[in-house]
């Protein structure tokens, strides 16, 4: 089954609104020729609406980096799925390891956020991945299986078609160390097997599974050439229009 390659950029806590507008405009201009590759930019909440406006006539869609489980209410500082949707964003990253590490995200909160996101018509990009200690302890497969089972508990097979999974080994995020294409491929196969077990082969075959962790123009081709690596969730290299557009063009040639 051929899946569309989707490249997403997670801007993390970078870019003021004027910087965000500049970056979004540059990326848009450099990707006007892209036909087959999905493109997503995830700026900070503060820039969502402005960036969504910049890309509205382009092939780029917008995502948030997190959201609140609750739909509305007295949750000072929190941002709801409905608020995100109202900016023009259609995706939301859920369960990024930085949210798990610094903000107490758990498999259970990830699961609840996915359900709320789907209810509001937002498409979750669900992140899983092991720590260095877990990889060295040879429990990567168990860790990722548990995260996927927890995240997707209680969903229906048709929900999977609105979800992107992202495998991001924590030891590869922002460190310059990338998983080898073989290491990443093996975990992507595991993720697809777990999803097949939970929701059937058809749902699993349709699931786009991105790799994230020090993806750059130099390693994008070898990672994206793997049969079960269907895209990338890019951090550092998405903050410069040249490198993000280059990764997209590498994907476009493979697509
Ligand atoms: P880097 O590409 O900076 O390693 O970040 C990856 C990431 O966490 C994307 O969500």
pLDDT exceeds 90 at position 255 = no
First to last CA, the chain: 13
Looking at residue 239, which CATH number applies to its domain?
A: 3.20.20.70
- What's the domain count of the chain? 1
Q: Which residues line ligand 1 (CB under 6 A)?
A: 10, 96, 168, 173-174, 212-215, 233-237
User: Do 38 and 90 form a contact (C-beta atoms < 8 A)?
Assistant: no
* Span from the CA of 233 to the centroid of ligand 1 (angstroms): 7
**Cα 238 to ligand 1 centre (Å):** 9
Active site (annotated) includes residue 182: no
Query: Is 1 contained in some domain?
Result: no
Q: Is 141 inside a domain boundary?
A: yes
Residue 85: domain span:
6-254
**Active-site residue, from 98, 105, 130, 168:** 168
Q: Whose CA is nearest to atom 7 of ligand 1?
A: 235
As a whole number, the mean pLDDT across the chain is 97
Q: Please give the Cα distance from 72 to 67 (Å, whole number).
A: 11
168 tagged catalytic: yes
Q: Give distance in angstroms: CA of 234 to centre of ligand 1.
A: 5
Q: Rounded CA gap, 234 and 218, in Å?
A: 13
What is the spatial distance between Cα 195 and Cα 1, in angstroms, rounded to a whole number? 15
- For residue 131, what are its two tokens? 């720590």
Q: What is the pLDDT of residues 68-123, one digit of tens each?
A: 999 999 999 999 999 999 999 999 999 999 999 999 999 999 999 999 999 999 99
């Amino acid at each position: 089954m051929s899946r569309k390659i989707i490249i997403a950029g997670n801007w993390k806590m970078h870019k003021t609104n004027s910087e965000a507008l500049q970056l979004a405009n540059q990326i848009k201009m450099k990707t006007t020729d892209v036909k087959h590759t999905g493109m997503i930019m995830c700026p900070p909440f503060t820039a969502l609406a402005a960036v969504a406006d910049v890309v509205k006539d382009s092939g780029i869609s917008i995502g948030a980096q997190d959201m609140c489980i609750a739909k509305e209410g007295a949750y000072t500082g929190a941002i709801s799925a409905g608020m995100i949707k109202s900016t023009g964003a259609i995706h939301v990253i859920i369960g990024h390891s930085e949210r798990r590490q610094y903000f107490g995200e758990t498999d259970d909160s990830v699961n609840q956020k996915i359900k709320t996101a789907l209810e509001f018509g937002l498409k979750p990009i669900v992140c899983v991945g092991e720590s260095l200690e877990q990889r060295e302890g040879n429990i990567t497969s168990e860790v990722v299986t548990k995260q996927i089972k927890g995240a997707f508990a209680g969903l229906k097979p048709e929900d999977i078609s609105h979800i992107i999974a992202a495998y991001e080994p924590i030891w590869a995020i922002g460190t310059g160390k990338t998983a080898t294409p073989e290491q990443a491929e093996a975990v992507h196969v595991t993720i697809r097997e777990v999803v097949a077990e939970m929701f059937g082969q058809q749902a699993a075959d349709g699931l786009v599974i991105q790799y994230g962790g020090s993806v750059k123009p130099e390693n994008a081709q070898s990672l994206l050439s793997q049969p079960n690596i269907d895209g990338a969730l890019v951090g550092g290299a998405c903050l410069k229009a040249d490198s993000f557009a280059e990764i997209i063009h590498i994907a476009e040639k493979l697509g």
